Amino acid sequence: MRSVLARLPRPRIIHPDDFVVAVVPYVVFAALVVWLAVLAPDSLTLDQITGNVDVTLILVLVAIGQTFVLLTGGIDLSIGGVISCVNAFAASHMASSGAAWGWTIALLLIGWAPGAINGALIAYARLQPFIVTLAAWFVWGGIAFYFLEASGGEVSPSLGWLASGAIAGVHNSIWLLLLVAIIASWLLRTRTGLQIKAVGSSADNARQRGIPTRRTIVVTYGLSSWLAAFAGIVLSAQSLSGDPVVGDSYILLSVAAAVIGGTSLFGGRGTTTGTILGAFVLTYLTSIVYVLGLPSQWSLIFSGLLLIGSVTLQLVVRRGFALRRRTRHA
Amino acid sequence: MLRRLQGRLRRNSQLALVYALALALFAIASLSVSGFGSGKSIDNILLAATILALAAAGQTLVILTGGIDLSLPWMIAASALLTASLTHGDNSALPWVIPVVLGFAVLVGLMNGCGITVLQVPPIVMTLAMNVMLNGFVALKVPSGADSTAPPLIESLAFGQILGIRTPLLILAVSGVVMTLMLTFQPFGRRLYAVGTNERASRYAGVNVSLILIRAYVLSAVFGAVAGLVLLGFTGQAFNGMGDEYQFATIAAVIVGGASILGGRGHYLGTIGGAILLTVLTSLLQVFSLGAGALKIFYGVVILVSVWLSQIDLEVLARYWRALGQRDVAR
């Protein structure tokens, strides 16, 4: 049976109420870029921008997966474990060039599996997303220690091309960023993307309208862990070494990037473009902390505050709109 | 009388099961692994279980409300690192350092609680952000070269004796009694269960939900700080990431102890049992020299399986069984 959605007119990606929330990441990002440019004019050179893209690319990949999961109303804490696991595996099994590329392809082929297990436990066993992905975080993070007991190991420099090479004079990470941005934005507009948002808006409504909610959830978590595995590979290609707990810091950062980019923690609302901006906001924040000469730990504190501030902003804006609508109709 | 006892036993069967399992496992382990049942080994297990049970006390309260506290690892580490660096390993500064550390914990708990109630940030995100912010704050306040040795008095928290009883056991007993009194006999405890069972209903019934939640997170941070002090005494040295293990262990102890991750069901006595069971299991893992990886995987599987088991719908299973039986009869 074809889904009812297929016959509906093309829906709006951004809910009208969300316009304010959707504009904020652009404003914040622009403000940070200008601020950094004032503090350090050379931040606008191509080299510096490329460097920032390099740093942010990993977070962008993870955060887009997190965005899709947040859109279903869930949360994916397991990405920390998946990234660590892939990185530890890379540093222990990819020392030669052939092994590096062979395993990379293999990992990209099976990268969706951890997420599919999460999704199945959430959709079919009806367990809470956070407890399933929390447990998966521990399990994959634990498996990482079997590949690599402490930070070290080596990755074949030939894989480094993925992170630092160039095609047609443009740095690979910029190509990857563009590719990911376009595919993610397109995916959000396909039927699958709409189904993901529908499940997050109201799972019961979605089910009644013929959306395969369980399959959608499995697909979403699978996508998230595939992107995390990909991020782990890019991370390994950049660092050319391993660390069995490297992924843990990306859990909060991915949620922060998505939320700063306007994605709701309660499902159904958000865009991938916003998330990418959110990720860059976090990077530029770190740069500004560095340029101001503050200890780097301040960037941890600021990113936490920015996350909490964004959640509150969304709440205030959405509640404000809801209130106005109610009084208008009254 | 007997019937009342039976009823109580049935209601607390999971509680009894945890202790029975811990005891059975310990008995089997001490019979099959030489030295596992020695006095020194029991001492170590009890000490580790005490620290875990203390750290998990606040987590119990928070999980009872239906939330979760992921900021405990760095709360524990913050308490240990701040105490070590502020006292410079000397007893004389303790009278003001301990109040400062506990006050800091109250502040952290207040921020968690207010973020969750006033700003309506979901508990996972709020406490995860708090964990990272605490990490940043501690790294700022306690640079890597700071004093990290434990003052002797703090060490006696872990290894000392009062009236012939080991201090950690005394601390555990006191916290067990206080928590039980609070959960079972205090209005706060009743309201905690009410909020965890149905937040909206308890709000309509006149419970100040925000206040209950804030108190739960404050107590969680304070218990984390106390656990950090005992842990500092145990290790003798404060180091970055010393609390990381408790991220997994506290949640696992609470859930193995029979609490529902959805809130409203569970007890601290169960958590203590869960902490003992987990500590026996982890020391067994260490006997077989399985490393940090095995421990992490183990905690993940334990959490997943116990949540899964607790959420299998017994009613549905029972109906299924009955239907099977009737079909056999009909045939």
Positions of chain B with pLDDT lower than 70, given as ranges:
1-12, 289, 312-318, 325-331
User: What's the residue count for chain A?
Assistant: 330
Q: How far apart are CA B76 and CA B214, in angstroms?
A: 19
Is residue A156 within 8 A of residue A94, CB to CB? The reply is yes
CA angle A135–A139–A140, rounded 5-degree value: 120
Region for A211 from its dihedrals, namely left if φ exceeds 0, alpha if ψ lies in -120 to 50, beta otherwise: beta
Interface test with A, best of B262, B278, B307, B312 (most A CBs within 10 A): B307
Question: From A85, which residue of chain B is nearest by alpha-carbon distance?
Answer: B293
Note whether A304 contacts B: Cβ–Cβ < 8 A.
yes
Cβ–Cβ below 8 Å for A136 and B140: no
Question: From A134, which residue of chain B is nearest by alpha-carbon distance?
Answer: B300
What pLDDT is recorded for position A14?
62
Q: From chain A, pick out residues whose CB is under 8 angstroms from the CB of B140.
A: 295, 297-298
Higher pLDDT, B324 or A233: A233
Strands A166-167 and B165-166: unpaired
Burial A225-264 (b: 16+ CB within 10 A, else e): bbbbbbbbbbbbbbbbbbbbbbbbebbbbbbbbbbbbbbb
How does pLDDT run across A73-96, given as a tens digit for each residue?
889 999 999 999 999 988 888 777
Mean pLDDT of chain A: 84
Q: Kind and range of the H or E element at B225?
A: helix B209-235
Note whether B314 contacts A: Cβ–Cβ < 8 A.
no
CATH number at residue B236: 1.10.3470
Region for B120 from its dihedrals, namely left if φ exceeds 0, alpha if ψ lies in -120 to 50, beta otherwise: left
Note whether A130 contacts B: Cβ–Cβ < 8 A.
yes
What pLDDT is recorded for position A165?
75
DSSP letter at A168?
T
Which of A168-172, A255-259, B137-141, B220-224 is predicted least confidently?
A: A168-172
Total of domains in chain B: 1
Residue A164, CA atoms < 13 Å, CB-side half-sphere = 10
Closest CA to B209 of B223, B221, B222, B196: B196
What pLDDT is recorded for position B218?
95
What pLDDT is recorded for position B327?
63
- Is B78 among the domain residues? yes
How does pLDDT run across A185-225, given as a tens digit for each residue?
898 888 888 888 888 888 788 888 888 888 899 999 999 99
What pLDDT is recorded for position A330?
52
- Is B1 among the domain residues? no
What number is the average pLDDT over the span A94-99? 76
Please name the amino acid found at residue B252: A
Is residue A322 within 8 A of residue A69, CB to CB? The reply is no
For residue B299, the distance in angstroms to the closest alpha carbon of chain A comes to: 7
Spans of all domains in chain A: 14-36+44-322
Is residue A100 within 8 A of residue A159, CB to CB? The reply is yes
Cβ–Cβ below 8 Å for A145 and B133: no
Note whether A247 contacts B: Cβ–Cβ < 8 A.
no
Which of A136-145, A249-258, B257-266 is predicted least confidently?
A: B257-266
Domain span at residue B225 reads: 20-330
Residue whose token pair is 């006149």: B206
Q: From chain A, pick out residues whose CB is under 8 angstroms from the CB of B137.
A: 297, 301
Region for A9 from its dihedrals, namely left if φ exceeds 0, alpha if ψ lies in -120 to 50, beta otherwise: beta
pLDDT confidence band for A181 (50 / 70 / 90) = very high
How does pLDDT run across A2-36, given as a tens digit for each residue?
555 555 555 555 666 667 777 888 888 899 888 88
Which of A121-135, A282-296, B9-23, B259-273 is predicted least confidently?
A: B9-23
- Is B12 among the domain residues? no
Q: Is the pLDDT of residue A279 over 90?
A: yes
pLDDT confidence band for A312 (50 / 70 / 90) = confident
Cβ–Cβ below 8 Å for A142 and B292: yes
Strands B161-162 and A170-171: unpaired
Cβ–Cβ below 8 Å for A139 and B301: yes
Interface test with A, best of B304, B313, B316 (most A CBs within 10 A): B304
The Cβ of residue B1 has, within 10 Å, a number of other Cβ atoms equal to 5
What pLDDT is recorded for position A229?
93
Beta-sheet strands, E only, within chain B:
161-162, 165-166
Closest CA to B234 of B293, B279, B181, B291: B279
Q: Is the pLDDT of residue A252 over 70?
A: yes
Nearest to A312 among B119, B293, B311 (CB): B119
Q: How far apart are CA B54 and CA B18, in angstroms?
A: 18
Predicted-complex ipTM score: 0.80
Q: How far apart are CA A33 and CA A44, in angstroms?
A: 8
What number is the average pLDDT over the span A282-287? 90
- For chains A and B, count residue pairs whose Cβ atoms are closer than 8 Å: 121
For residue A281, the distance in angstroms to the closest alpha carbon of chain B comes to: 17
Is residue A230 within 8 A of residue A108, CB to CB? The reply is yes
SS3 A330: coil
Q: Kind and range of the H or E element at B25?
A: helix B13-32
Note whether B308 contacts A: Cβ–Cβ < 8 A.
yes
pTM over 0.90: no
- Is B296 among the domain residues? yes
Strands A170-171 and B165-166: unpaired
**Fold of domain A14-36+44-322:** ABC transporter involved in vitamin B12 uptake, BtuC (1.10.3470)
Q: How far apart are CA B83 and CA B89, in angstroms?
A: 8
Residue whose token pair is 């959306």: A211
SS3 B161: strand
Note whether A255 contacts B: Cβ–Cβ < 8 A.
yes
Q: How far apart are CA B26 and CA B280, in angstroms?
A: 6
Q: How far apart are CA A10 and CA A82, in angstroms?
A: 35
